[in-house]
């Protein structure tokens, strides 16, 4: 894209004017762009950034072909992994919706050892067939162990970096 197109004063003025729009006006723009209302609770700043991006893309062009290809490839990877509601093997959304959602993290095989430093202390967890062993006690899940360590609710897999 030519350098002068990136600093077009007209487009800069139009983008700057988006900040003066009301929330209702921004929602109306969102509906025109995406064909549906914005998600509940969306913040005004995100509505503004979306409108600004689309304003610039309409004048300067959107994503490059390489960026679109990269997004398509990553979407396909996510979809095939089961994260997006689809199931590996090419099943349709309808077929996948009849099944339980896949787990975000696969179960850990027995014998796995996880370590995490927290507040200056190293915590070691061993995965067994019966559950998760921590400080000589058996827990049902990593989340229960993370709560025991921190005193607050944490996602166990996230706490242990999985």
| pLDDT in single tens digits along all 162 residues of the chain | 444 445 677 878 888 888 899 999 999 998 998 888 888 888 888 898 888 888 888 887 777 888 878 878 777 665 565 544 433 334 334 444 444 444 555 677 888 888 888 888 888 889 888 888 998 899 988 899 999 998 888 888 888 887
Exposed e or buried b for every residue in 61-93, given b needs 16+ CB within 10 A? eeeeeeeeeeeeeeeeeebeebeeebbeeeeee
User: Looking at residue 111, what DSSP letter applies?
Assistant: T
Q: Which helix (H) or strand (E) holds 3?
A: helix 3-6
Angle (nearest 5°) at CA 45 between 37 and 22: 65
Strand-pairing partners, residue 137, are 134
Kindly give, in sequence order, each residue whose CB lies less than 8 Å from that of residue 88, ignoring residues fewer than 6 positions away.
80, 81, 82
pLDDT of residue 5: 47
Look at the chain and count its residues.
162
Residue-level pLDDT at 26: 92
Sequence-distant (6+) residues with CB within 8 A of 138 are 128, 130, 131, 132
């Amino acid at each position: 894209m030519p350098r002068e197109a990136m600093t077009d004063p007209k487009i800069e003025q139009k983008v700057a004017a988006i900040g003066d729009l009301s929330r209702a006006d921004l929602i109306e723009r969102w509906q025109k762009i995406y064909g549906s209302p914005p998600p509940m609770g969306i913040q005004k700043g995100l509505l503004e950034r979306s409108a600004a991006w689309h304003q610039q893309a309409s004048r300067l062009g959107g994503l490059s072909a390489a960026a679109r290809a990269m997004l398509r490839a990553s979407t396909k990877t996510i979809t095939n992994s089961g994260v997006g509601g689809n199931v590996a093997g090419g099943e349709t959304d309808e077929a996948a919706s009849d099944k339980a959602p896949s787990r975000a993290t696969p179960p850990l095989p027995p014998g796995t050892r996880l370590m995490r430093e927290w507040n200056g202390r190293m915590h070691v967890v061993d995965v067994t067939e019966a559950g998760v062993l921590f400080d000589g006690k058996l827990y049902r899940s990593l989340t229960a162990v993370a709560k025991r360590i921190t005193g607050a609710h944490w996602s166990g897999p996230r706490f242990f970096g999985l």
